[in-house]
């Protein structure tokens, strides 16, 4: 319990220091994360990438569903939050924590193509065109039949997701502070083959 409070305080400190980068005052609720992960076949994935892992509100549930021989690469730009993440899951060899921007996605995968990318990054509040660059990098990097799971606190990113991926399913998760919009994005099969 004390660790949970400490992590929430660290998350809040990170938000206050960089509100456009962190995007939320509290970590995502377990219910919202579960609703989001239900939109893809996590147990069948060989490689999952998490963008903006924070203190692990998505990381833990992903690892719970992840196959024993699969891999999770979690990006977290805030060094303090990344350190919490490493400490919490240091006994799980499936997890690699990258302290750095999600813009470096391609550099860290060495040609591997994730089956699922999970993101709670605040795309509409990231500075400049950072959000767009990360979305485009994700589209180029994800496997042909991969799924991009996105959690947002507004629907403003939906139009860009449609432009980049073509197929976007949407759910709403009211059991979160604030309520969250969940998106599962994929490319139509013909489009995926053409860009491979």
Find the domain containing 100 and state its range.
Answer: 2-195
- Could you report the per-residue pLDDT of 150-169, keeping only the tens digit for each? 999 999 999 999 999 999 99
CA distances for 61 relative to 36, 76, 124, 190, angstroms: 10, 17, 25, 32
Burial of 2 (0-12, 13-18, 19+ CB in 10 A): exposed
Over residues 53-70, the pLDDT tens digits come to 988 999 999 999 999 999
The CATH number of whichever domain residue 62 belongs to comes to: 3.40.50.150
Give the global pTM. 0.84
Q: Is the pLDDT of residue 133 over 80?
A: yes
Angle between helices 158-165 and 130-141 (to 10 degrees): 30
* Count of structural domains, the chain: 1
């Amino acid at each position: 319990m004390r660790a949970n409070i400490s992590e929430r305080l660290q998350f809040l400190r990170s938000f206050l220091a960089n509100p456009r980068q962190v995007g939320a005052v509290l970590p995502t609720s377990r219910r919202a994360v579960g609703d989001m992960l239900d939109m893809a076949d996590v147990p069948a994935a060989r490689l999952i990438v998490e963008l903006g892992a924070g203190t692990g509100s998505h990381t833990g549930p992903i690892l719970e569903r992840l196959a024993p021989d699969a891999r999770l690469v979690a990006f977290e730009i805030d060094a303090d939050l990344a350190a919490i993440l490493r400490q919490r899951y240091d006994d799980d060899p499936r997890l690699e924590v990258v302290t750095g921007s999600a813009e470096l996605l391609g550099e860290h995968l060495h040609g591997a193509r994730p089956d699922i990318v999970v993101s709670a990054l605040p795309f509409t509040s990231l500075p400049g065109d950072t959000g767009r660059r990360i979305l485009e990098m994700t589209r180029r990097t994800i496997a042909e039949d991969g799924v991009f799971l996105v959690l947002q606190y507004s629907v403003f990113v939906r139009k860009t997701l449609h432009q980049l991926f073509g197929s976007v399913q949407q759910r709403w998760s009211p059991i979160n502070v604030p309520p969250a919009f969940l998106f599962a994005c994929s490319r139509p099969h013909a489009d995926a083959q053409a860009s491979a």
